[in-house]
Amino acid sequence: MASCAVNDCDNGVFATGLCSKHYMRLRITGTTDDGPKARASLADRFWKYVDKRGPDECWPWIGSGSLGYGTIQVGGRSGKKVLAHRISWELHKGQIPENKDEFHGTVVRHQCNNRLCVNPTHLKLGTQSDNVQDMWINKGGPRGNARLTESQIASIKADPRSSRRLAPIYGVSDAHIRAIRNGRTWKSNK
C-alpha cells in the first residue's frame, strides 16, 4: 500500500498521493502544512483559481461562486466571502475607496460584462448606477426575464467543467446549464 506524499506521514493514500488528513487540509487551507496559521496567503489562494490568459482576454474565475460572481474567503477559516473581482482590484490597484453617496458604496465594474472575469485591465471603479448602465449599454444585460447575460452563456458553453460544478457559480440549476449546452435554451448567442 502506498503512503502519503507528505514527509513523515505513514498513512495510506486517499487521493492525489495524499492521505485523507493532508488531502482535506490542502483543499481547505491551500497547503498541507500543520497548524492553525498554515493557510496560504490570499494572493496564493486567489491565483490558484484564476485561468490567466492573454493580457486583453478575460481571466475567468474557476473557484467557487455565488450568483454568477466568483467568491473567495478572507480573514481566516471562519472569515467572510468576498467577490473575487474585488480582491483582484485590491491585489493589483490597491484598496477600494468608500463612497457613501449614490447607492451607498463603490463597486468594481466589469468593462467586459463577464461576472467571472478577474483581469484587472477589465475592471473599473464606479457606482451601482454606473454598473447597471454599463450592463445595458454593452447589450450584455439579461434577455427578458433571464438571469444570465449573453457573455455568461458564452462562458458556460466554453467551460469544460461539469454542469454540477458550474451551477452554483452562476446561481442556476445544473439542469439549466445542461439545457444551455444542449441548445434547448439560449439557442442564439449574438
The DSSP annotation for 23-42 comes to HHHHHHHSS---STT-PPPH
In a domain, 190, yes or no: no
- Is the pLDDT at 75 greater than 90? The verdict is no
Burial of 181 (0-12, 13-18, 19+ CB in 10 A): middle
Same domain (yes/no): 50, 108: yes
> How much is the pLDDT for 189?
46
pTM for the full predicted model: 0.56
List all residues 6 or more positions away from 104 whose beta carbon is below 8 Å from its beta carbon. none
Same domain (yes/no): 17, 75: no
Which residue range(s) make up the domain with 138? 41-181
Same domain (yes/no): 121, 85: yes
Same domain (yes/no): 74, 17: no
Instruction: Pick the range with the lowest mean pLDDT from 56-65, 87-96, 115-124, 179-188.
Output: 179-188
Same domain (yes/no): 176, 83: yes
Same domain (yes/no): 62, 137: yes
In a domain, 189, yes or no: no
Angle at 149 between CA 148 and CA 152, to 5 degrees: 85
Q: How confident is the model at residue 155 (pLDDT cuts 50, 70, 90)?
A: confident
In a domain, 186, yes or no: no
In whole numbers, what is the pLDDT of the chain averaged over residues? 81
